[in-house]
């Protein structure tokens, strides 16, 4: 039996555009996440971006404001992009899952990892975003994105920085999620991890001009 899916919400018209796709995603009830989330958080960025960055799912701030990567992880990402010579306005930024999955704990909403069923249900949106943007370079942030896009067996600690040719983009790479970097308690280790993140993104910045 087919599981939950966003497929039925994808507009059928032949000349699909990102704004049309985004509007359609606003009404997505393809899995149960829409019930508790505030809104769909769709990708944003130019339709002709050479680089696409894919995170896991919106966080608390993103859910309230309706934009991807605008909380603390987004701030770190913006900063690292600038240091790598990539500007946020030039890249397309999105998530594997478009609604916030959370639990309430001590009066706060804490992120919960999306289930396999929710990830699978949401993938039709990402497939269409990739079809419309056709990025040369695709960067997965964290294991959830890497396992959805590169391989279910992807091990982020061992394979971060490796380059893959995937059906999504000719040059696909995964690196750590900025939220994971922010959780490193030791200041020196955190600093080193951020520097490696800058190196990965610098590789991305170089590749965007090379990949045909
Ligand atoms: N983490 C993500 O993976 N995506 C966001 O948009 C924000 C935080």
Which tens digit of pLDDT belongs to each residue from 40-58? Answer: 999 999 999 999 999 999 9
Pair 144, 119: CB distance under 8 Å: yes
| pLDDT for 152 | 97
Please give the structure tokens belonging to residue 19: 């704004």
Higher pLDDT among residues 37 and 209, named by residue: 37
| pLDDT for 14 | 84
DSSP H or E run through 118: helix 116-133
Q: Over the stretch 150-171, which tens digit does the pLDDT of each residue have?
A: 999 999 999 999 999 999 999 9
Tell me how far apart the alpha carbons of residues 164 and 41 are, in angstroms, rounded to a whole number: 27
- Ligand 1 centre from 71 Cα, in Å? 8
pLDDT at 211 over 90: no
Q: Nearest-CA neighbor of 200 among 79, 81, 47, 116? A: 81
Backbone angles phi, psi at 28, to 5 degrees: -70, 125
What mean pLDDT is predicted for residues 3-9? Answer: 96
Average pLDDT, the chain: 97
Q: Nearest-CA neighbor of 22 among 73, 74, 66? A: 66
Tell me how far apart the alpha carbons of residues 58 and 68 are, in angstroms, rounded to a whole number: 6
Q: Over the stretch 181-200, which tens digit does the pLDDT of each residue have?
A: 999 999 999 999 999 999 99
Tell me how far apart the alpha carbons of residues 164 and 44 are, in angstroms, rounded to a whole number: 24
Query: Taking phi first (over 0 means left), then psi (-120 to 50 degrees means alpha), and beta for anything else, what does residue 153 get?
Result: alpha
Tell me how far apart the alpha carbons of residues 56 and 54 are, in angstroms, rounded to a whole number: 7
What mean pLDDT is predicted for residues 137-148? Answer: 98
- Ligand 1 centre from 69 Cα, in Å? 5
Q: How does residue 1 score in pLDDT terms, banded at 50, 70 and 90?
A: low
- Beta strand pairing call for 137-141 and 171-175: parallel
- Cβ-in-10-Å burial (0-12, 13-18, 19+) of 15 comes to exposed
| pLDDT for 88 | 96
DSSP H or E run through 51: strand 51-55
Ligand 1: which of 179, 180, 182 to mutate, most ligand atoms within 8 Å of CB? 179
Cβ of residue 40 lying under 6 Å from some atom of ligand 1 = no
Ligand 1: which of 53, 57, 156 to mutate, most ligand atoms within 8 Å of CB? 57
Q: How does residue 209 score in pLDDT terms, banded at 50, 70 and 90?
A: confident
Q: How does residue 210 score in pLDDT terms, banded at 50, 70 and 90?
A: confident
Q: Over the stretch 112-142, which tens digit does the pLDDT of each residue have?
A: 999 999 999 999 999 999 999 999 999 999 9
What mean pLDDT is predicted for residues 70-81? Answer: 98
DSSP H or E run through 94: strand 92-95
DSSP class of residue 44? B
Please give the structure tokens belonging to residue 81: 């992009």
Q: What percent of the chain has pLDDT above 90?
A: 95
Q: What is the pTM of this model?
A: 0.97
């Amino acid at each position: 039996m087919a599981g939950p899916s966003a497929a039925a919400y994808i507009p059928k018209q032949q000349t699909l555009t990102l704004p049309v796709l985004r509007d359609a995603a606003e009404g997505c009830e393809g899995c149960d996440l829409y019930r508790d989330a505030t809104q769909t958080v769709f990708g944003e960025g130019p339709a002709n971006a050479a680089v696409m960055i894919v995170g896991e799912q919106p966080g608390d701030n993103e859910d309230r404001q309706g934009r991807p990567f605008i909380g603390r992880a987004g701030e770190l990402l913006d900063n690292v992009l600038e240091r790598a010579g990539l500007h946020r306005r030039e890249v397309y930024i999105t998530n594997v899952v478009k609604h916030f999955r959370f639990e309430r704990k001590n009066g706060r909403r804490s992120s919960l990892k999306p289930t396999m069923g929710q990830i699978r249900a949401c993938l039709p949106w990402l497939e269409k975003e990739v079809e419309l943007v056709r990025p040369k370079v695709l960067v997965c942030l964290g294991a959830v994105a890497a396992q959805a896009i590169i391989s279910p067996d992807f091990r982020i600690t061992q394979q971060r920085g490796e380059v893959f040719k995937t059906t999504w983009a000719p040059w696909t790479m995964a690196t750590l999620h900025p939220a994971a970097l922010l959780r490193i308690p030791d200041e020196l280790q955190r600093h080193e991890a951020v520097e490696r993140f800058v190196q990965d993104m610098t590789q991305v910045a170089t590749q965007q001009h090379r990949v045909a």
